[in-house]
Amino acid sequence: MDLWTLTPFSVARAFATGRHTGGGRQPLQAAALYGWREWFRVPPPPWRPLGLYPPLMLLRVAPLIFVLFWSGAFVAARGGLPDFTPWAFLALRFFAASLILLVLALLVREANPDWRSFRRRWAGVVGAGIFMNGLYLGLFFTAMQEIPAASAALIGSLTPLLTAVLSGPLLGERFKLAQWAGFLLGILGVALVVGVDYVALDAGAGIAAAFAGVVALTFGTLWHARVGRGLPLLATNAAQMAASGIFCVIVMALVETPSIVWSQQAILSFAYLTIGVSFGGMGLYLLMLRHGAAGKVAANFYLTPGTAALLAFLILGESLRLEALLGLAAATAGVWLVQRGGVKLPLAPKSAADKPV
């Protein structure tokens, strides 16, 4: 018997509703199984982890977990980047993440995977992944060699607003006035958190790279929202990571002499950025894009600078300014305004499974 079958709440709820028998199971196990499904609102069996219809509870906590994973990347990168050249670091990270995802894709049976549509749309899936992963991160790593991280973070905060603006004509998403106010409040919150030095904005190459990174992430997000709905999550993420790794190898051969020093900090940083961010964070990002509007999903990026500052205070002992806390509060209010309103969702491309046989 699995541990979750012993949940007292599940057992009590199932017996209270009379659903404690059936399915060839013992009464206690059947009761717990029913109660657990009711609590998480899991669709009727067969249900598979990471399937097409994840538990509603997972979708509710996905933004919080995503923000924590993504914010921790700023702390981890600070420890690892001095020992790696950027494009070599990204290439190894993406290849490692793609191998992990490939193994999971082979072991975990996703619910109702539409492989026919995946084969038809693989080029779009791979292209979106390169923009969201390889190009976006590579450009921002390049930008931070020229401008302070605070300036890069402020420019990066334009991503949700640009995504929302373009999602209207490209995906048919429509936001309300209060939600637009939330997008603007999020930018204000990020500005308070980073305390940006505007004098640094005269570094032309770094600024250009940062703005190009914003465009890359926005374009990749919209492209994936268009072609990636309904596709197997693990296989999609694995293909995108592998393609991003190949892209980074090509860029690395053109612009840098790769250097890798496997110090203890570099190993820990590499492990977290591979498993926590490329696997966990990006997997949750794709999951949220599958079930929500692109603009609302991208708004979660407003919370990462403030959360990163808080994590740096707790983990690294760095100072935490009052303005950073106020900025995190403003960004949180902005994200709340964006998320609380309804939005017209884009239609997924018609899958092969929908065609008459």
One-letter-per-residue 3-state SS of 323-353: HHHHHHHHHHHHHHHHHHCCCCCCCCCCCHH
Distance (Å, rounded) from C-alpha 86 to C-alpha 84?
Answer: 6
Can you give the pLDDT at residue 248?
95
Distance (Å, rounded) from C-alpha 21 to C-alpha 30?
Answer: 6
Can you give the pLDDT at residue 250?
96
Residue 114: closest CA among 228, 222, 221: 228
CA–CA distance from 49 to each of 8, 55, 104, 297 (Å)?
Answer: 22, 9, 11, 21
Would you state the torsion angle of the CA atoms of residues 168, 337, 52, 221, taken in this order, to the nearest 10 degrees?
A: 40
Distance (Å, rounded) from C-alpha 267 to C-alpha 255?
Answer: 24
Can you give the pLDDT at residue 28?
45
Can you give the pLDDT at residue 318?
73
Would you state the torsion angle of the CA atoms of residues 250, 255, 258, 263, taken in this order, to the nearest 10 degrees?
A: -110
Distance spanning both ends of the chain, measured CA to CA: 41
Can you give the pLDDT at residue 81?
66
| Per-domain boundaries in the chain | 3-40, 56-344
Can you give the pLDDT at residue 130?
95
Distance (Å, rounded) from C-alpha 68 to C-alpha 66?
Answer: 5
Can you give the pLDDT at residue 45?
37
Distance (Å, rounded) from C-alpha 331 to C-alpha 299?
Answer: 9
Placement of tokens 């190459």 in the chain: 205
Which SS3 state, helix, strand or coil, does residue 217 take?
A: helix
0.85 exceeded by pTM: no
Please write the tens of the pLDDT for every residue from 164-223.
889 888 888 888 888 899 999 998 988 888 775 544 555 577 888 889 999 999 999 999
Q: Which helix (H) or strand (E) holds 162?
A: helix 158-171
Residue 86: closest CA among 258, 262, 208: 258
Can you give the pLDDT at residue 35?
42
Please tell me the number of Cα atoms within 13 Å of 178 on its side-chain side: 10
Q: Which residues on adjacent β-strands are paired with residue 84?
A: 260
Placement of tokens 């209010």 in the chain: 333
List average pLDDT for each run of 10 residues in the chain, which is 357 residues long: 36 44 45 42 40 55 84 73 82 92 80 73 91 91 74 80 87 86 90 66 74 93 85 86 95 89 85 86 82 80 84 77 87 88 52 37
